[in-house]
A and B are shown apart, each in its own frame.
Chain A
Amino acid sequence: MSETRDVILSTIRQSLRRGPIYGEARAALEERIRSHPRHLIPSRAGQPPAALIDLFIAKARAASTSVVEVSDRGEIPQAVMDYLANENLPARLVQAPGLHDLDWAAAPTVEVRMGAAEKADEASLSKGLAGVAETGTLLLVSGPENPTTLNFVPPTHLVVLFRNDVVPAYEDAWDLLRVNGTNPRSANFITGPSRTGDIEQKIQIGVHGPLRLHLILVGR
């Protein structure tokens, strides 16, 4: 295999009419990676915080994400219960372990299991690491606290996001991960429920991933 690799790399260098890059030139490329400079960020991401939240909510809704706002985390269980009831869905869900301290006493009818999603799960609740205002996009990151299957397997996906975690641009969301020093197995940027236009280009919601994406935005 390493022989194949070397053949490909040397063909690349031959085509580019140069040898391997060493020394300062190589260091400059490594430095570009280390400093990962930002490029042009759209001006819509440069608005003041209150306007950014409005932009985030408007863009999320435009992508068919339903959004409800609650003032603190104590209100989350009630919001979940109300949503499931309004949508005529069974009061059952699988919850991200990272949300283990939610007090479900306020929503006693909801049956909660903790863990990764399984085939039969009908709804899931997970926590977003960030919300990206420029396109109403959620960032969810894998780990024992937040299994990836919660984002894709159940037909209904509820996401808890704190207002403070709404950031202007994708780069800001990614920087939150860099600051943590984590390199999670999976990072999912999600903008609305699953959809397809593969049948006569008529948009259908909910083909493989969730049919419903519901955002509970927490905080004042």
Chain B
Amino acid sequence: MNHTSDRFIDNSRAALANPVLQAALANLKRGFPINRAEVVADLPEFEELRNVARDIKDHTLDHLDVYLEIYERNVRASGGKVHWARNAKEARDTIMRICRDAGARTVTKGKSMVVEEIGLNEALDASEIRRVETDLGEYIIQLRDEPPSHIIVPAVHVTKEEIGDAFREAHEGLDPTRALSEPADITAEARTRLREAYFSAEVGITGANFLVAESGSSIIVTNEGNGDLTQTLARTHVVVASLEKIVPTMEDAFAILRLLARSSTGQEFSVYTSVSNGPKRSDDLDGPKAYHVVLVDNGRSSMLGTNQQDMLRCIQCAACINHCPVYSAVGGHAYGWIYPGPMGAVLTPSLTNIAASAHLPNASTFCGQCEQVCPMKIPLIKMMRHHRNSAHQQGHGGKVSKFALFFWSYFAGRPALYRTLTGIGVGVLAALAIGRGRLKSLPLVGGWTANRDLPAPEGGTFLTRYRRGER
């Protein structure tokens, strides 16, 4: 997908000026965080479980090679096949080959962020294969030809009227008198249409919330049941997962699952937590005949051992996104790549490059709400700061701010000079603000005075007045 993180400022201006998006974002803020707070309060062990979950993932990442080997061995034992992909292109090529070998004309897809990341949608759409998104939100944005704007509610920015319009345009033979004005009508229409796809698809592609080394299992977590229909009804099931989805045992997965839905949508447990082990058994009456896992690296193995390793603990619950005041102001598209909010501000520079995405880790007040709610205790602020350091070292900090920083550090390091200068500054500002107590515009800080006044200094610096004996 197009990477427009370098246009973050323009993107965010457009988002702030979009009243439909602003209404949706206000709605989001009133939903998930409130539900989360309720279920967290109802589980006294929640804080301790965060430590447990962090330790499980840290242990796993420190031994990632071993657990991947064990996982692969157990997938094979249950009759599945494991494919490894170093980058997005290898992953796409592998999946396209599996689809063609399976004679795919229709492919159904569950929601998967790594599948977005590797650009599989574009590859499928450029081929003869029909792609059908089955997560309702993903289906909506597929019809509208848009990227997701949130990692768990991808169509959060779309109104029901817009969805109704998209359905009318795309659904052939839809009765023009049929009501599509309410969510229930839209849901019923989607149910009918997608049912056709589930039963006709040759290949069903899903992501995975966990891969379990112990049993070679893939686990998906959904509320709609779309992932289950995708992976159960197609002849071939393809699981696409990034390396860090692995955990050693089912006990490890359950410990983290206790945090996932609570942190994400504020449910105690998602409706469907489904464990898959290989293709259908000889006496099974249903299930896929073939089971493939595509393990995607795409930069993650190089994050290990660096100051970005902790990000590989992420379970993509979106708690950081749901609680981020910056996300809440501009929405997901402004971030310009697949992963928005704080987790995107950390992950995008690691998986792409800092030059194109330097805005993301910088566009944060470091307020810390993200860290406070992260179930995996990822030190998001520290990691954004690491990215800021890289951006600064590589000269992506912006010329004006670099100059300002130099200017500031010169005086901050020279207390006497600093005192003289601040004394003059206070005098100048006070003169400019005389009689009003505030300044409506000021050179160099136009970003401030565009939207706010600058309160005038009280008069005289503290240090000068203190030295004169004032108390």
Contact = CB atoms under 8 A, between A and B. Distances in A.
Contact of A39 (B153, B184, B194, B252): B252
B271 A200 contact: no
Contacts of A38: 251
B215 A8 contact: no
Most chain A beta-carbon contacts within 10 A, residue among B24, B194, B224, B265: B224
B63 A29 contact: yes
B78 interface: yes
Contacts of B86: 4, 7-8
Contacts of B24: 200
Interface in A1-47: 1, 4-5, 7-9, 11-13, 15-17, 20-21, 26, 29-30, 32-33, 36-40, 42-44
A119 B199 contact: yes
Given A33-B70, A37-B251, A191-B270, A13 B83 contact: no
A209 B65 contact: no
Nearest to A143: B284
B130 to A, nearest CB: 18
B458 interface: no
Given A148-B287, A189-B272, A195-B271, A208 B278 contact: no
A206 B31 CA distance: 20
B304 A192 contact: no
6 contacts: A39-B56, A184-B277, A185-B284, A186-B232, A191-B271, A198-B154
B65 A185 contact: no
B62 A189 contact: no
A142 B287 contact: yes
Given A15-B305, A116-B286, A183-B215, A208 B226 contact: yes
Contact of A196 (B199, B224, B252, B304): B224
Interface in B21-43: 24, 27-28, 31, 43
B251 A39 contact: yes
A218 B326 CA distance: 51
Interface in B251-292: 251-252, 254-255, 257-258, 265, 267-281, 283-287
Contacts of A201: 27-28, 31, 153, 156
A20 B287 contact: no
A72 interface: no
A20 B214 CA distance: 19
B44 A143 contact: no
Contacts of B243: 8, 12
Interface stretch (A81-89, A103-111, A149-157): A149-157
Contacts of B128: none
Interface in B52-104: 52, 56, 62-70, 72, 78, 83-86, 90
The 3 lowest CB-CB distance pairs between A and B, nearest first, are A209-B225, A198-B137, A15-B304
B134 interface: yes
B44 A192 contact: no
Interface residues on A, range: 35 or more
B140 interface: yes
Contacts of B305: 15-17
A188 B228 contact: yes
A6 to B, nearest CB: 9
Interface string B147-177: 0000001111001100100000000000000
Contact of A206 (B154, B191, B276): B191
Contact of B224 (A43, A137, A207): A207
A66 to B, nearest CB: 15
A16 B306 CA distance: 9
Interface string A39-75: 1101110000000000000010011000000000000
B363 to A, nearest CB: 25
Most chain A beta-carbon contacts within 10 A, residue among B137, B183, B269: B269
A202 interface: yes
Nearest to B302: A15
Contacts of B194: 208
Interface of B: 24, 27-28, 31, 43-45, 48-49, 52, 56, 62-70, 72, 78, 83-86, 90, 134-137, 140, 153-156, 159-160, 163, 183-184, 186-187, 190-191, 194-195, 198-199, 213-215, 223-226, 228-229, 232-233, 243, 248-252, 254-255, 257-258, 265, 267-281, 283-287, 295, 297, 301-306
Interface in A131-154: 135, 137, 142-144, 147-149, 151-153
Given A42-B258, A183-B215, A185-B287, A4 B90 contact: yes
A206 B232 contact: no
Contacts of B283: 143-144
Contacts of A170: 254, 257
A181 interface: no
A170 B210 CA distance: 16
Contacts of A210: 225
Contacts of B66: 21, 26, 29
A179 interface: no
A145 to B, nearest CB: 9
A77 interface: no
B301 A8 contact: yes
B193 to A, nearest CB: 11
A87 B137 CA distance: 29
Contacts of B155: 198-199
Given A149-B286, A195-B224, A200-B27, A15 B276 contact: no
Given A189-B269, A200-B159, 6 more contacts: A1-B83, A4-B85, A16-B62, A26-B66, A169-B254, A184-B281
Nearest to A13: B65
A33 B249 contact: yes
A27 B381 CA distance: 37
A187 interface: yes
B187 A209 contact: no
Contacts of A193: 271
A204 interface: yes
Nearest to B153: A198
Contacts of B199: 119
A79 to B, nearest CB: 23
A160 B322 CA distance: 38
Contacts of B297: 8, 11
Contacts of B269: 63, 135, 137, 189, 191
